[in-house]
Structure 1
Amino acid sequence: MIDPKIIKAILFDSGRVLNRPRTGQWFMPPNFFKYVDKNKFETLNIDLIENAFHKGDKYFHDHPLILTEKEELKHFIEFYNIFSKELPELKISADYISEIAKDTVYNDDKFEFFEDVFQVIPRLSQNFKLGVVSDTWPSLERVFKNAGLREYFSTFVMSSTLGVLKPDELMFNTALSQLNIEAEAAIFIDDNIVNVKAAIKLGMQGIVILRGDELKECTDIMCVDDLSELEELLAK
């Protein structure tokens, strides 16, 4: 059980915890079908599409260190170049590849925040230090700023600026160090049970947020459905 009396900080993953892709797909920004023929796209085999996205994503795994939005744009242009080559039927031009990449990096509407974020996060920040620990790119911090949420987080750890992904200990330890707290005084919230278990191994409290999904492992690890349930748990 969580003991609120010893908790000083709450660390959150971002994707599918605080926000989600507006289109339902992280690599399909809001204006994706302005540059990609939707009819042709929808006729393609889903496995081919997923494989194209996977090969583009592998590029990011092979080039994990990205420090600025300018660098992020450069990498996303390469991502969509790879994607386009895997799906030549779409005939995506170089200019359109560049525009899709710009939409991915600079369009804040690529993400939508869950409604409870705007109510619960400000209240939690009154009693706890808050932080973000996310596998993401530099533009995420701008999105939080423009949404009026960045001010509530005392640390904002992004995988691309460290060059590693969760569950690497560096992600968690960087946040703990910046907050100047011990692991035992922190809770980590993620939708990925592997990352939550990694945080628990470091001595943190760990909670899986479901957001409507089911997870059989909730029998041996604490789960909440949303931030309101988390708030209620901490109020006990």
Structure 2
Amino acid sequence: MKPKKIKAILFDSGRVLNHPRTGHWFIPPNFFKYVDKDKYDQIEPHVLQKAFQSSLKLIDEQVFILTEQEEFQHFIHFYKLFSEQLPELKLTDTQIQSIARDTVFNDEKFYFHDDVFDVIPKLSESYQLGVVSDTWPSLERVFKNIHLRHYFSTFIMSSMIGVRKPDQLMFTNALKELKVDPDETIFIDDSIKNLEGARELGIHTVWLLRDRNEARDGDYVSIHDLYQFMTILERQF
């Protein structure tokens, strides 16, 4: 049977289209305006990592976050938990709220790769595009403000759905909104686990590595940027 023509392309956002500008998802651009950097740098890296991870684990128990104001309150809670585990930082409630506000409302928290601005508009001329991301509501605002949102016909965010990838509900919601079948769709992500979830539905998958030097998995088509994706799109799909 002849394979169906590809009609839609779904993208993860984080580490595929955008990265945290500071290199850390939970250190927003103005973090060290409110946190004493000297004190922060004196803390052992494994202690910092544990504080971030345990705070995230606790706030992940709240699965639905539907508005940016809810997201703001969510991150106030996150940084309060973070502060409680690192009392040497001596963060005040005002500082905690300022960090949370920067995390949610500062569009500069992300940078987008050059290939995104070159390739996404071109792809949108021939395919329906969508974002499927484990994220919070403010991401969509950032996409709007940098004039990317209109290229995507669906924008699936985990905090709106109540589950995270690789849960199939993330993908089936996107397929339903685009009115396409799984085998008419490609999903691009940096996580093998997420690709496996999409593949179980019959979605074609592409593993985006960006600058990482990971061994390529022979079961997955792998690329290092979206320019490379353009070159293989017609040839392999």
- The one-letter amino acid of 2:63's match is P
Aligned equivalents of 1:5, 1:161: Cα separation in 2: 31
1:111-170 Cα distance to aligned partner (Å, 9 max, x none): 000110000000000010000000000000000000100000000000000111100110
Matches within 5 A, 1:11-22: 11-22=10-21
Report the TM-score when normalising by structure 2.
0.96
Aligned equivalents of 2:4, 2:127: Cα separation in 1: 11
- The one-letter amino acid of 1:44's match is I
Task: Using the TM superposition, give the Cα deviation of residue 43 of structure 1 relative to its aligned residue in structure 2, in angstroms.
Answer: 0.8
Note the residue ranges of structure 1 that are not aligned, 5 or more in a row.
none
Map of 1:118 onto structure 2: 117
Task: Using the TM superposition, give the Cα deviation of residue 216 of structure 1 relative to its aligned residue in structure 2, in angstroms.
Answer: 2.5
- The one-letter amino acid of 1:101's match is A
Matches within 5 A, 1:85-164: 85-164=84-163
Contact 2:137 2:159 in 1 (8 A): yes
1:60-107 Cα distance to aligned partner (Å, 9 max, x none): 321111000000000000000000001001001100000000000000
Aligned equivalents of 1:145, 1:183: Cα separation in 2: 27
Report the TM-score when normalising by structure 1.
0.97
Contact 1:4 1:234 in 2 (8 A): no
- The one-letter amino acid of 1:146's match is N
Aligned equivalents of 1:220, 1:155: Cα separation in 2: 28
- The one-letter amino acid of 2:117's match is F
Map of 2:7 onto structure 1: 8
Map of 1:49 onto structure 2: 48
- The one-letter amino acid of 2:31's match is F
Task: Using the TM superposition, give the Cα deviation of residue 235 of structure 1 relative to its aligned residue in structure 2, in angstroms.
Answer: 3.4
Note the residue ranges of structure 2 that are not aligned, 5 or more in a row.
none
- Gap change, CA 1:4 and 1:140, over 3 Å in 2: farther
Task: Using the TM superposition, give the Cα deviation of residue 226 of structure 1 relative to its aligned residue in structure 2, in angstroms.
Answer: 0.4
1:32-64 Cα distance to aligned partner (Å, 9 max, x none): 000000011011011110011011111232111
Map of 1:81 onto structure 2: 80
Task: Using the TM superposition, give the Cα deviation of residue 9 of structure 1 relative to its aligned residue in structure 2, in angstroms.
Answer: 0.3
Off by >4 Å, runs of 4+ in structure 1? none
- The one-letter amino acid of 2:72's match is L
Contact 1:210 1:226 in 2 (8 A): yes
User: How many residues are treated as equivalent by the alignment?
Assistant: 234
Task: Using the TM superposition, give the Cα deviation of residue 217 of structure 1 relative to its aligned residue in structure 2, in angstroms.
Answer: 4.5
Map of 1:27 onto structure 2: 26
1:169-218 Cα distance to aligned partner (Å, 9 max, x none): 10000000000000010000000011011101110001110001133352
1:10-37 Cα distance to aligned partner (Å, 9 max, x none): 0000000000000000000000000000
SS at match of 2:231: helix
Aligned equivalents of 1:151, 1:144: Cα separation in 2: 9
SS at match of 2:60: helix
Aligned equivalents of 1:235, 1:182: Cα separation in 2: 18
Map of 1:203 onto structure 2: 202
SS at match of 1:15: coil
Contact 1:4 1:235 in 2 (8 A): no
SS at match of 1:218: coil
Aligned equivalents of 1:120, 1:182: Cα separation in 2: 23
SS at match of 2:102: helix
Overall identity of the aligned pairs, in % = 54
Map of 1:232 onto structure 2: 231
Aligned equivalents of 2:37, 2:234: Cα separation in 1: 48
**2:63 counterpart of 1:64:** yes
